[in-house]
Structure 1
């Protein structure tokens, strides 16, 4: 026990300062070697003829001042050299930080931006809200909480587009969700292309787990392929597709009514790919789905330790510059 405490104490007291390239200190004796090894150059000058008494007075004063100046003339340049070499060696201190947790999962969120998403049959904070507003509110919070996942965003209407490429910056994905507007991808409902584009983004992924969360409030009425065929392809690729059927009325309940959700197709899509289908009629249902998906696809809670360095080379460099400036001004007096 005592030995363990001693090791712990020594570890805490160990200096954190180190040098990125300590070999730079081999340059320290360079000025001394240059002084002794390089041939000296004698400068020729003109002679000043003065009376003997005046000459003795000048030489006595010069000798007295020379003793004081010699030390400064020698030490100041050497101090500048030491500081510059220290800066070149790169003093730095270890600053351990907690890295982003890595879940090994790539997650694509595919959101329906068809015209029916403007229907105001949801509520937020006690007030009427459109389906899109409810999705923005809950979806942004869901994306922001996916720390450790690489998350991308696809939106689809008549066409499908990548609104945000897969990234670990979940805050950026959340901001993109809050900025979505109806019409940028057309007003039809092309579920097939929305899922197909998500699969294309996951095709080259080397993640251990690949997941698509697809939300739609309608029935597929655009695109060449059928949603079931694309979902079957997802199953062959090893991609789980969780579908969210958004809207109070299902297509099977009112086949002739517009703006109803095709629950049966969305359920078949999730079954074919090994995912789950969620039925959402209210904002509270949508919040519950977000919690259920968090349980089905948990995020990583513990991150890997990352080592970064805080650089200090600037301080000896600045000090060397200040000392050089002072010495230059002092020598010119």
Structure 2
């Protein structure tokens, strides 16, 4: 299937005839001087030879028609499938504190760091969010945006893959991480907005209190799903233990904001949590395919340029 972007350009096709009609000689002007042929001699032959021939007119018309064809913008429609879209913004806030280095999870049958498991499953989760605008915030002592919200889920997944301990310190500023995610989501009012907060510790850095940030999330309409990762939690140990997750605080964040809380003690639990979030926040609805055009105007434009050059060459030879 093909058409023209600006077909109305075709009305200019008879323009040369109009110009020739308006520029024709005035019949009222008469008078001539008869000169014997012996006087004119070779001058008559020269003047006759200098008149543009049929070839000159032919090249001029080809150039004109090809130029109009180029201006009309010929194009063909390329095949395109329906595009997945959801109208949802989703920010992931990932804990990069020092405890994420602990080797108490399994990946592909081998003992692995918590971070390696999160990077692998998190990247897979993000790649499955086609249609969402996804971003990534990482936090420890402080928080920063590792990937701005984008429909390019592959780029965000690569940011997941490159997450490393020490980029933002080694403490756990849960409030700061969630707060930064909310700031990015606040830029898109009118859309469905979701945050996924993953932590394996307790809030011990930053000025923002997690519950206060959760109330802000509810106020601006952002659902926060929280994932508490780690074998032990604060309510299960006596005294101070740096290797515990504050599951109670993470559950409160989810409850306040209207999200879901997930307790992850092993790799399989994390898989199930991410699958559950996919079900809670469905990803794909097909939108009408956007037409993709292949522009063909360079071909008639090139022909017009060639014909114009040949017309000039023919005129010079006639002269």
For the superposition of Structure 1 and Structure 2, which TM-score range results when normalised by the shorter chain?
Answer: 0.7 to 0.9
Say yes or no: does 1:31 pair with 2:16. Answer: yes
Task: Single out whichever of 319-328 and 258-267 deviates more from structure 2.
Answer: 319-328
| Cα distance in structure 1, aligned partners of 2:92 and 2:192 | 14
Aligned ranges 1:97-246 → 2 under 5 Å: 97-246=80-229
| Cα distance in structure 2, aligned partners of 1:206 and 1:138 | 29
Task: Single out whichever of 153-162 and 163-172 deviates more from structure 2.
Answer: 163-172
| Cα distance in structure 2, aligned partners of 1:311 and 1:227 | 54
Task: Single out whichever of 211-220 and 302-311 deviates more from structure 2.
Answer: 302-311
1:279 shift after superposition = 1.4
What are the Cα deviations for residues 152-176 of structure 1, in whole angstroms up to 9, with x where unaligned?
A: 2111111111222212111111111
Say yes or no: does 1:88 pair with 2:71. Answer: yes
SS at match of 2:196: strand
Task: Single out whichever of 202-211 and 103-112 deviates more from structure 2.
Answer: 202-211
What are the Cα deviations for residues 56-87 of structure 1, in whole angstroms up to 9, with x where unaligned?
A: 9x95x998x999x8221111111111001110
Give the equivalent residue in structure 2 for 1:299.
283
TM-score relative to the length of structure 2: 0.86
Q: Residues 83 and 317 of structure 1 are in contact (CA less than 8 Å); yes or no, is this contact kept in structure 2?
A: yes
Say yes or no: does 1:314 pair with 2:298. Answer: yes
| Cα distance in structure 2, aligned partners of 1:156 and 1:120 | 20
| Cα distance in structure 2, aligned partners of 1:133 and 1:194 | 20
What are the Cα deviations for residues 200-255 of structure 1, in whole angstroms up to 9, with x where unaligned?
A: 22223224422110000111001223212221222232221111111122222224
Give the equivalent residue in structure 1 for 2:30.
none
Task: Single out whichever of 250-259 and 271-280 deviates more from structure 2.
Answer: 250-259
Task: Single out whichever of 92-101 and 241-250 deviates more from structure 2.
Answer: 92-101
Q: Which of 251, 271, 282 is 1:267 aligned to?
A: 251
SS at match of 2:17: helix
| Cα distance in structure 2, aligned partners of 1:245 and 1:163 | 21
Q: 1:62 to 1:203 in 2, by over 3 A?
A: closer
Give the equivalent residue in structure 2 for 1:47.
none
Higher relative contact order (CA 8 A, sep 6+): 2
| Cα distance in structure 1, aligned partners of 2:83 and 2:146 | 23
Give the equivalent residue in structure 2 for 1:7.
none
SS at match of 1:252: helix
1:330 shift after superposition = 5.6
Unaligned runs of 5+ in 1: 1-15, 41-49
Task: Single out whichever of 132-141 and 18-27 deviates more from structure 2.
Answer: 18-27
SS at match of 1:241: strand
| Cα distance in structure 2, aligned partners of 1:207 and 1:287 | 30
1:328 shift after superposition = 4.5
Unaligned runs of 5+ in 2: 26-36
Pairs aligned (count):
304
Q: Which of 15, 18, 23 is 2:3 aligned to?
A: 18
Task: Single out whichever of 93-102 and 197-206 deviates more from structure 2.
Answer: 93-102
Give the equivalent residue in structure 1 for 2:32.
none
| Cα distance in structure 2, aligned partners of 1:73 and 1:325 | 11
| Cα distance in structure 1, aligned partners of 2:242 and 2:42 | 114
